[in-house]
Amino acid sequence: MKTEAIPDAARAFLEFPQVLRAHRFAIAGDQALAFMASAPLLAPLNLRRLHRAAHATLAPPPERHAEFDALFYEYFAGGGAGVAAAKSLPEHDAPVSEGPGSQQAIAEIRKLNESGKSAAQSEALGIRRLRGQNEKPLARILRSKLPHRLRLRHERMPRGPRLDLRRSLCDLVANDGDLAALARSGRKAIPRRIVLLIDISGSMKAETNGYLDLAYELSSEFRDTETFAFGTRLTRLTQALRIRNKEAALARASDLVADWDGGTRIGAALDAFLSHPRYSGLAHGAIVAVISDGLERGDHRRMVEAVRRLDRRARHLLWLSPLAGDPRYRPETAAIKAILPIVGHIGDGSSAGSVVDTLLRGIP
């Protein structure tokens, strides 16, 4: 960024938002501009007033006020000693990947899919019945059981609950005053989006394939399902799992993930999900299921804070652990104990089938 031509007094207003961004505060351009615009309005400007203006325009979340204030005073009153250090920090410490050039690869696989033979094959593979006694594929069962939400718009609906006077009147005028039938309308109920966050670290090794299978099934039944895998980094698998051919989809998904069976940094990965502007919006009003044993290395405070933020966004937040399949299981690690009050209880995630059961039972 060019800052040479900017007067010294104004430079601080450009730089401070950058410092904040380096510390994982989400600051939009609009907000930085508002911060700058507020300065001449508050003359005579002093540190106290500037501090109030920074809070009002840059809007730090209340639970991070202390952190924000420390940065503010360090920058504006402390001579900016910590700023140089801040600037050198990476943008995200848990990198996000969607795989470079993945679009082309997906297009190629799509082409492959369209040929009749492999399509038929995928059909046979795709319909997997995880619940033996039931004839319907699993995702179909889920469709009726999962929570729905109503669309905001009223749509024309022949048997809708509401008499649509607006459309009836239009029809009436269009037909010179004759009305064959009153129009009805209603708000369509659509299933809430499912967001899966799957732990693929070493401790989860035995189950990850089953989870990806499930993610594929869910993605093909509910087109807006979002799947992410995390270990030491966060990877979005949504695009890969939308490929129609199941084998190709799963192969593509496993190619994308660079950190199979490695370590875990759950807090950092969830943080990366939440602070990515495009991803975090996906959790709003959604059913978010985190499938992880919660074995966090090191300090778990970051993980707990991330879970709390996730819970405030999601409509339903479920935490499923493969360990919870054992009836003798008790939440004992500090991390799991700390998130228990937020998520309510740790659901059974010992296999794809039990994940489905928990999905069905765990949502009121």
Q: Which residues bind another protein (CB under 8 A)?
A: 26-28, 30-31, 34, 37-38, 41-42, 48-49, 52-53, 55-57, 59, 62, 65, 149-154, 165-166, 168-169, 172-173, 177, 187, 277, 280-281, 284-285, 309, 312-313
For another protein, the closer CB: 45 or 105: 45
For another protein, the closer CB: 183 or 352: 183
Q: What are phi and psi of 224, to 5 degrees?
A: -95, 10
For another protein, the closer CB: 124 or 152: 152
Opening angle at CA 305, ends 54 and 233, nearest 5? 100
**Residues forming beta bridges with residue 185, ordered by sequence position:** 156, 162
For another protein, the closer CB: 76 or 329: 76
User: Is the backbone peptide bond immediately before 44 cis, with ω within 30 degrees of 0?
Assistant: yes
Strand 184-186, strand 162-163: pairing: antiparallel
CB of 168 to another protein, least distance (A): 8
Q: Distance (Å, rounded) from C-alpha 9 to C-alpha 179?
A: 69
CB of 35 to another protein, least distance (A): 9
Distance of alpha carbon 29 from the chain centroid = 23
Residues 6+ apart with CB under 8 A from 319: 289, 290, 292, 294, 307, 339, 343, 346, 347
CB of 106 to another protein, least distance (A): 28
Q: Distance (Å, rounded) from C-alpha 267 to C-alpha 250?
A: 26
For another protein, the closer CB: 37 or 125: 37
- Beta strands per DSSP E along the chain: 96-97, 148-150, 155-156, 162-163, 184-186, 189-191, 194-199, 226-230, 234-236, 287-291, 316-321, 346-348
CB of 214 to another protein, least distance (A): 26
CB of 87 to another protein, least distance (A): 22
CB of 173 to another protein, least distance (A): 7
For another protein, the closer CB: 177 or 327: 177
CB of 269 to another protein, least distance (A): 19
For another protein, the closer CB: 68 or 216: 68
